[in-house]
């Protein structure tokens, strides 16, 4: 995370990564820090809202044979939970993506960020966007009903720390 801005609360972290996520697809804007911060501030002020799951769900439906994690076209794909089921995700929250056999076997019911960064050793900034989008939205919803959006949080890997399964 770039230097001058250090989010410290659950909602700050969620908004920050969501802002990065919505900005990233626009070519050339990945490193536009000012634009990310502007989007972050607009999310925080309520000027704009995190979109619902529609975009991710549509993406999953459009690519039934494409692994959401590694992008490979696999014959044997299977649904995988983005956020561990053990956290008690309420029915109705879209928590599934399609994964190839290898990714599904590796990911299992582990936390997405832990699995990606610690186990696979991949950069936090390269978590695939569909799973990350779902992860952030579920984190937001669950912290909202748990009244923990304003609680302390030190990073993306901790956005579920106040949620007890």
Contact residues toward Zn ion (CB under 5 A) are 67, 69-70, 100, 103
Distance in Å, CB of 77 to Zn ion, minimum: 9
Q: CB-wise, 70 or 117, nearer to Zn ion?
A: 70
Q: CB-wise, 68 or 149, nearer to Zn ion?
A: 68
Q: CB-wise, 67 or 138, nearer to Zn ion?
A: 67
Distance in Å, CB of 96 to Zn ion, minimum: 15
Rounded Cα distance between 80 and 108, Å, is 7
Query: Which conformational region is residue 38 in: left (phi greater than 0), alpha (psi within -120 to 50 degrees), or beta?
Result: alpha
Q: Which residue has the tokens 């186990």?
A: 119
List the structure tokens of 55.
């975009």
Strand ranges (E), 61-150: 77-81, 96-100
Distance in Å, CB of 82 to Zn ion, minimum: 14
């Amino acid at each position: 995370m770039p230097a001058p801005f250090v989010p410290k609360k659950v909602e700050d972290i969620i908004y920050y990564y969501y802002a990065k996520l919505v900005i990233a697809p626009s070519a050339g804007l990945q490193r536009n820090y000012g634009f990310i911060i502007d989007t972050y501030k607009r999310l925080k002020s309520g000027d704009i809202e995190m979109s619902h799951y529609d975009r991710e769900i549509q993406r999953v439906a459009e690519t039934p044979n494409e692994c959401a994690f590694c992008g490979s076209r696999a014959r044997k794909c299977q649904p995988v939970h983005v956020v561990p089921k053990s956290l008690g995700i309420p029915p109705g929250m879209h928590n599934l993506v399609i994964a190839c056999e290898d990714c599904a076997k590796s990911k299992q019911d582990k936390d997405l960020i832990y699995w990606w960064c610690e186990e696979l050793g991949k950069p936090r900034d390269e978590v695939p966007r569909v799973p990350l989008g779902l992860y952030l939205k579920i984190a937001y919803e669950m912290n909202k009903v748990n009244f923990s959006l304003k609680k302390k949080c030190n990073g993306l890997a901790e956005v579920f720390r106040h949620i007890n399964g």
